[in-house]
Structure 1
Amino acid sequence: MKHKEGGFTLLEMMLVLTVFMACFGAVLIPILNVTNEVNEQQFFNQLERDLFEAQSYAILNNVHVKVNFYESGLHKYTISTYEYPRYILVERDIPAYFIPVKGSMMDIMFQKTGMTNRFGTVYFKSEEKRTKLIFLIGRGRFYFLEE
């Protein structure tokens, strides 16, 4: 009497595993791109909230508030009062994949009225795209523009 086993061979198992891993890898690549996009969007949302907070702080406390980007060559931005004694209100890291761009405005000041002391652009450049933070003349308004 012969017994016939109904199992799979090692070759069949390896073939199925290879196909499964190829499908999993094809799904994983777009997920990484989406993750980077979400992290970038989260950074810009946080920066926008911090800038509104700096502007509000300047108006409510009747002080000048300075925002420094890439302060002291580090990948961070700080928001602090300008008058003595200097209080640091916010200090956050800028993601490492952003490259400082020459010609970018490195600081801006919100005056006691909430207006900015000047107008200009801060550039955030990554490998995929470039985003501008544009400060307008006048009421301290700003917006982001993706290129």
Structure 2
Amino acid sequence: MVHKENGFTLLEMMIVLTIFIVCLTAALIPLRTIANDVSDRQFFQQIERDLFAAQAYAIAKGTNVVVHFFENGRNNYHIYTFEQSRKTLIKREIPNRFIRDERNMSAITFLRTGMTNRFGIIYFTTEEKSTRLVFLIGRGRFYFLEE
């Protein structure tokens, strides 16, 4: 009596595993883009909160507050008082995905009244897109604009 066992051969198993891995990899490719978008959104929300905090500090303490982006070519932004004692309020890293853009203005100052000393644009540029932080003239207003 011949006993025949039914089952998958090693070759069939390898083909199924290869197809499964290809499908899984194809599904994970957009995940990196989504993760970068979420990370960027959180970063811009943090900048917005820090700028509002700097503006509020300038008004409450009656002192000028400077916000310096990409200070000395480094990927950070530094918020400090303009007085001689130069007190650092906030210093945060800018993710390495963002490269310094030559069109950037380097710093903006919130005056004692909460208004900015000038208007201009800070560019946050990656390989995929560019986001502008626009400071308006008067009243110290600003907003983000994605290109």
TM-score range, shorter chain: over 0.9
SS of 2:127's partner is: coil
Deviates more, 1:4-13 or 1:112-121: 4-13
Cα deviation, 1:46-77, whole Å, max 9, x if unaligned, reads 11111001001111111111000001111000
Structure 1, unaligned stretches of length 5 or more? none
CA distance in 2, matches of 1:2, 1:42: 67
- The answer on whether the counterparts of 2:54 and 2:110 sit within 8 Å (CA) in structure 1 is yes
Cα deviation, 1:83-126, whole Å, max 9, x if unaligned, reads 12111111111111111111211100001110001111111111
- The answer on whether the counterparts of 2:73 and 2:100 sit within 8 Å (CA) in structure 1 is no
CA distance in 2, matches of 1:105, 1:88: 20
Q: Quote how far apart the aligned CAs of 1:6 are.
A: 2.5
Matched AA of 1:18: T
* Equivalent residue number for residue 118 of structure 2: 118
CA distance in 1, matches of 2:93, 2:2: 71
Corresponding position: 1:86 with 2:86: yes
Matched AA of 2:48: E
CA distance in 2, matches of 1:117, 1:28: 46
* Equivalent residue number for residue 15 of structure 1: 15
Q: Quote how far apart the aligned CAs of 1:7 are.
A: 2.4
CA distance in 1, matches of 2:27, 2:40: 21
SS of 2:122's partner is: strand
Structure 1 outlier segments of 4+, above 3 Å: none
- The answer on whether the counterparts of 2:64 and 2:111 sit within 8 Å (CA) in structure 1 is yes
SS of 2:144's partner is: strand
Corresponding position: 1:101 with 2:101: yes
Corresponding position: 1:36 with 2:70: no
* Equivalent residue number for residue 47 of structure 1: 47
TM value normalised by structure 2:
0.97
SS of 2:78's partner is: strand
SS of 1:123's partner is: strand
TM value normalised by structure 1:
0.97
CA distance in 1, matches of 2:47, 2:71: 15
Structure 2, unaligned stretches of length 5 or more? none
